[in-house]
DNA sequence: TACCTGTGCTAAATCGATTTTGTTAAAATT
DNA sequence: AATTTTAACAAAATCGATTTAGCACAGGTA
């Protein structure tokens, strides 16, 4: 029971292999194959269940019809939703996706990109981590199609799509301030990523706009790579050192989860002892009493836009980009914690 | 800046392409290539950074060096851990992995398998869902390498690996009974899957062994496809209808999470009002106060064993399987809820 | 009549590897 | 000295498609 090849189909239809190829690839008209012959070929191909050999096509055309998706962590709901949407969108367009996670391993990013290169992906979808800038730059210089998601490097000229971080934080801050809360803490990580900076800018701007003084000691910058326990302790010290705080804004869901643990440990009650707001939703936040209010990322929108941008690059005959930088607004979800 | 081909390397080394191929594939000795020439070729290949063209290799050898991993849901921590381990293990062996999720779509399973077939994966790792039996049977009959994980179909003769469900539940039940709890409820879904039945058997057996009567009304079978809200209500009715219950055993983490929500809604306190135990861990269970005790799946062990079993099938020259059915014990993790 | 121009397809080159078969010179054997 | 073996590699076939170039024939034109 061997594989059915194009040659077999040709023999069955009584024509040359090239003719079959033309017809099956929709170039029948262009190659002046008679409709009669064309439809015969189609029928034969259909009922014999012929499927072209992927590898052969790839080898000949030089296109693998595969996209590489590189994310920080393959766990995590952000990736899950992202992957789901991207996979279905890609499939709709005849592409499939290979996933890779850097797993917060700074120098693993580069390896991954090279590995994908070896596997000849046609394009890259990347959520950039701090250590990957050089490798990404390299790809872009080689004119490989690349779209960044969730963050970007100002120095790299390639399309990106992400949530409007500034606006998202603003939405949340306005809610807090609207409830009369003014002593608002902000917890962030110390990595130099544009989205983190934007979130901080959202925080300070919102305060300033409402004439609330920005106090440095209300901003906690946790180190990125730390023992979980160390981070918890630092967070607890921060809250204890600022007993006047009536709300805390966590700038990532990872931080928010740490926050929940500390708040539980300290026996504080949300939202009365302290209101909590978090950037980026998480399964836990829906469930954890009294429900954690969040800024939800428009993941589906990000994924769809990213694929669009990537496909645009893959289409050689499509004009230049109109928009190369897309920001999609996030959605404020009110739950019990703020 | 074109791709470096084997021919280029050959030219640079002053030999024929075939010679290069032999050397790079470790067949130099066998083909009696002089060490001198071989090492020259190696050097050239090394410093020119030559990488063989995957598709060309695949076409020629007929092996895609790709495994297909089919899971129920690409979200979910089970998949996340599974995928991570499988990917690294596969990579270690020179394989890469494409993922697919059936997303609880009964008839999507078949399509997926066909889709992977088209892409010519060398082998399949599958967590079987109810609707996929026929397609899997088909694969096995075609002598495609297949390993099932997490569950299996008794009728299909292909290796599988999963947690020892019976024993896992027993561990949990013994703990509950050891604490003097005897009115223990059991919540399950009504799908006919072997692992669910095994868990139920663990429950009833544990009760019988301790001379505790098994009451039908203490067992709730939720319908698989239901609106989330409906399931919540049914669960709540179940608890209200059995106020004597002092513990509930949830047979999957999805059910456990629903349980948490209902218990919170009803204002019950764990573990005093009701003790809770769940099969299969989840991020939330670590965090959710007071911590939910669980039977943890040995996911890493499952993944590693599965890959081993699959690789064994892929090795044509390896003897027949010794063990084709593997059960790995789960681990009881005590937290605050029971 | 000799010369184009389309039509409708087929033959052959190509992609980049692997693998089988050939080739040549030196060494070994008869 | 003639023949066989062996070492050491080169040449060519192959995997299964796509694509370019080519070929035969009918009809139209100079």
Q: Tens digit of pLDDT for each residue in A110-156?
A: 666 666 766 678 999 999 887 888 889 988 998 899 999 999 999 99
- Nearest Cα residue to B13 out of B43, B35, B56: B43
- List chain A residues with CB under 8 Å of B59: 53, 55-56, 59
Check B54 against A120: CB less than 8 A apart. yes
The mean-pLDDT minimum among A32-46, A165-179, B206-220, B318-332 falls in B318-332
Chain B contact present for A80, CB below 8 A: yes
Does the distance separating the beta carbons of B101 and A80 come in below 8 Å? no
pLDDT (0 to 100) of residue B115: 67
Rounded Cα distance between A19 and A10, Å, is 8
Cβ neighbours for B171, distance < 8 A, ≥ 6 positions apart: B295, B330, B332
* Average pLDDT across chain A, whole number: 91
The pLDDT score that the predictor gives to residue B269 is 94
Output the six-digit token pair for B268: 């019950």
Residue B140: is it exposed, middle or buried by C-beta count within 10 angstroms (0-12/13-18/19+)?
A: middle
Contact (CB<8Å) B59/A64: no
Tell me how close the Cα of B11 comes to any Cα of chain A, in angstroms. Answer: 22
CB A64 within 8 A of CB A121: yes
- By C-alpha distance, the chain A residue nearest B78 is A75
Give Dmax (Cα) for chain A: 86
Nearest neighbour of B55 by CB, restricted to A51, A97, A120 = A120
Mean of the pLDDT values across residues B217-235?
92
Which range is least confidently modeled, A155-169, B80-94, B188-202?
B80-94
Identify whether the C-beta of residue B173 lies closer than 8 Å to the C-beta of residue B185. Answer: no
What was the pLDDT predicted at A318?
66
B224 touches A at CB < 8 Å: no
How far does the CA of B17 sit from the C1' of C24, in Å?
Answer: 19
Residue B69: DSSP 8-state: E
What are residue B276's DSSP bridge partners? B248
- How distant is C1' of D27 from CA of A37, in Å? 22
Which range among A71-75, A317-321, B332-336 shows the weakest confidence by mean pLDDT?
A317-321
For residue B64, give both structure tokens.
Answer: 């895609």
d(CA A65, CA A310): 12
Contacts of B262 in chain A (CB under 8 A): none
What is the enclosing helix (H) or strand (E) of A223? Answer: none
Torsion sign, CA atoms B229, B234, B237, B239: negative
Q: Are the C-beta atoms of residues A266 and A237 closer than 8 Å to each other?
A: no
Angstrom CA distances, A329 to A125, A249, A302, stand at 20, 18, 10
Q: What tokens appear for A285 in the block?
A: 């936040």
Footprint of strand C on the protein (CB under 7 A): A 14-19, 22, 31-34, 36-37, 56, 59-60, 62; B 2-7, 17-18, 21-22, 24-25, 27, 51-53, 56-57, 59-61
Is the Cβ pair B51, A264 closer than 8 Å? no
Question: A293-296 and A331-333 as β-strands: parallel, antiparallel, unpaired?
Answer: antiparallel
Q: List strand residue ranges (DSSP E) for chain A, in order.
A: 66-71, 96-101, 123-126, 146-149, 160-163, 184-189, 219-222, 247-250, 275-279, 293-296, 325-328, 331-333
Cβ neighbours of A81 in B, within 8 Å? 75
Quote the pLDDT of residue A23.
97
Gap between the terminal Cα atoms of chain B: 64
What's the confidence (pLDDT) of residue B197?
Answer: 95
Q: What percent of chain B has pLDDT over 70?
A: 92
- Residue A159's nearest CA partner among A284, A28, A48, A320 is A320
What pLDDT, on a 0 to 100 scale, did the predictor assign at position A84?
A: 83
Q: Is the pLDDT of residue B53 over 90?
A: yes
CA distance linking residue B125 with residue B67, whole number of Å: 7
| Distance of residue B82 Cα from the nearest chain A Cα, in angstroms | 10
Enumerate the nucleotides of strand D whose atoms come under 7 Å of any protein CB: 7-12, 14-21
Minimum-distance CB partner of B120 among A55, A75, A98: A55
Look at residues A194, A175, A197, A195 and name the one whose alpha carbon lies nearest to residue A184.
A175
Measured over the CA atoms of residue A28, residue A31, residue A32 and residue A33, the dihedral's sign is negative
Q: What is the DSSP string of A145-212?
A: -EEEES---TTS-S-EEEE-HHHHHHHHHHHHHHTT---EEEEEE----HHHHHHHHHHHHHHHHTTP
Which DSSP symbol is given to B268?
A: -
Considering Cα of B123, then B129, then B132, then B134, what sign does the dihedral take?
positive
Q: Does B229 touch chain A (CB under 8 A)?
A: no
- Say if residues B162 and B185 touch (Cβ distance below 8 Å): no
Q: What is the pLDDT of residues A284-310, one digit of tens each?
A: 899 898 999 999 999 999 999 999 999
**Chain B residues touching residue A103 (CB < 8 angstroms):** 84
Contact assignment for B75 to A75 by CB distance below 8 Å: no
Give the predicted TM-score (pTM) of the model: 0.84
Q: Which of the four pLDDT bands, split at 50, 70 and 90, describes residue A102?
A: confident
The pLDDT of residue B101 is: 76
Q: Which residue of B has its CA nearest to A283?
A: B284
Q: Is B261 at the interface with chain A, CB within 8 A?
A: yes
B-contacting residues of A 131-150, CB under 8 Å?
Answer: 142
Residue B98 contacts A, CB cutoff 8 Å: yes
- Residue B184 backbone phi and psi in degrees, to 5: -110, 125
Q: Where does the pLDDT of residue A193 fall: very low under 50, low under 70, confident under 90, or very high at 90 and above?
A: confident
Diameter of chain B measured on Cα atoms: 86
Secondary structure class of B316 (helix, strand, coil): coil
Residue B114, pLDDT > 70, answer no
Q: List, in order, residues 6 or more apart from B173 with CB less than 8 Å away.
A: B184, B202, B203, B206, B207, B249
Q: Which residues contact B234 (CB under 8 A, 6 or more apart)?
A: B220, B222, B226
Question: Is the per-residue pLDDT at B39 higher than 90?
Answer: yes
Instruction: Let me know: does B80 contact A78? Beta carbons within 8 Å.
Output: no
Q: Is the CB of A63 under 7 A from strand D?
A: no
Any idea what DSSP says for residue A217? Answer: G
pLDDT at A319 over 90: no
Q: What is the pLDDT of residue B100?
A: 78
Residue A283 has pLDDT above 90, yes or no: no
Q: Is A253 on the interface with B (CB under 8 A)?
A: no
**Which nucleotide does the CA of A34 lie closest to, via C1'?**
C8
Collect all residues with Cβ–Cβ distance below 8 Å to A9 and sequence separation of at least 6.
Answer: A20, A41, A44, A45, A48, A50
B52: CB within 7 A of chain D nucleic strand? no
Answer whether A58 touches B (CB < 8 Å): yes
What average pLDDT is seen over chain B? 91
Cβ–Cβ gap A119/B96 under 8 Å:
yes
CA distance A191 to chain B (A): 25
Lowest-confidence region among A20-34, A305-319, B34-48: A305-319
pLDDT of B221: 96
Neighbours of A336 (CB within 10 A): 14
Q: What is the mean pLDDT of residues B36-46?
A: 96
Count of CB atoms situated within 10 Å of the CB of B47 = 9
- Quick one: average pLDDT of B293-314? 96
Decide: CB of B42 under 7 A of nucleic strand D.
Answer: no
Long-range contacts of residues A19-28, Cβ cutoff 8 Å, at least 24 apart: A20/A45, A24/A52
Q: Is the pLDDT of residue B270 over 70?
A: yes
d(CA A79, C1' D21) / Å: 49
In this prediction, residue B55 carries a pLDDT of 93
Please give the nucleotide, over all strands, whose C1' is closest to the CA of residue A25.
Answer: D18
Q: CA-to-C1' distance for B35 and C23, Å?
A: 21
3-state helix, strand, coil in chain B (%, to 5): 45, 15, 35
Return d(Cα A120, Cα A210) in angstroms, integer: 52
- The pLDDT, as a whole number, for residue A98 is 82
Least confident range from A16-30, A90-104, A120-134, B254-268: namely A90-104
Mean pLDDT check: name the lowest of A207-221, B12-26, B38-52, B104-118. Answer: B104-118
């Amino acid at each position: 029971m061997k594989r059915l090849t194009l040659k077999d189909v040709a023999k069955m239809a009584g024509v040359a292999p090239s003719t079959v190829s033309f017809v099956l690839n929709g170039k029948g008209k262009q190659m002046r194959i008679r409709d009669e012959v064309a439809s015969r070929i189609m029928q034969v191909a259909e009922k014999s269940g012929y499927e072209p050999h992927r590898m052969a096509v790839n080898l000949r055309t030089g296109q693998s019809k595969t996209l590489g998706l590189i994310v920080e962590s393959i766990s995590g709901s952000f990736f899950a939703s992202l992957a789901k949407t991207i996979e279905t969108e890609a499939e709709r367009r005849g592409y499939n996706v290979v996933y890779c996670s850097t797993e917060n391993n700074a120098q693993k990013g580069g390896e991954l990109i090279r590995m994908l290169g070896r596997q000849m992906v046609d394009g890259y979808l990347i959520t950039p981590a701090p250590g990957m800038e050089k490798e990404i730059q390299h790809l872009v210089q080689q004119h490989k199609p690349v779209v960044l998601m969730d963050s970007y490097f100002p120095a790299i000229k390639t399309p990106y799509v992400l949530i409007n971080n500034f606006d998202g934080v603003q939405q949340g801050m306005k809610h807090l301030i609207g409830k009369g809360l003014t002593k608002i803490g902000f917890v962030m990580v110390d990595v130099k990523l544009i989205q983190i900076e934007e979130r901080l800018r959202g925080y300070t701007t919102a305060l300033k706009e409402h004439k609330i003084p920005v106090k440095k000691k209300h901003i906690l910058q946790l180190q990125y790579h730390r023992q979980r326990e160390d981070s918890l302790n630092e967070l607890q010290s921060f809250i204890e050192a600022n007993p006047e705080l009536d709300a805390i804004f966590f700038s990532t869901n990872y931080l928010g989860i740490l926050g929940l643990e500390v708040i539980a440990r300290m026996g504080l009650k949300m939202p009365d002892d302290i209101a909590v707001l978090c950037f980026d939703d998480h399964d836990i936040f829906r469930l954890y009493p009294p429900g954690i209010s969040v800024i939800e990322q428009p993941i589906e929108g990000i994924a769809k836009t990213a694929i669009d941008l990537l496909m645009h690059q893959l289409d050689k005959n499509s004009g230049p980009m109109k928009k190369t930088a897309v920001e999609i607004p996030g959605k404020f979800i009110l739950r019990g914690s703020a």
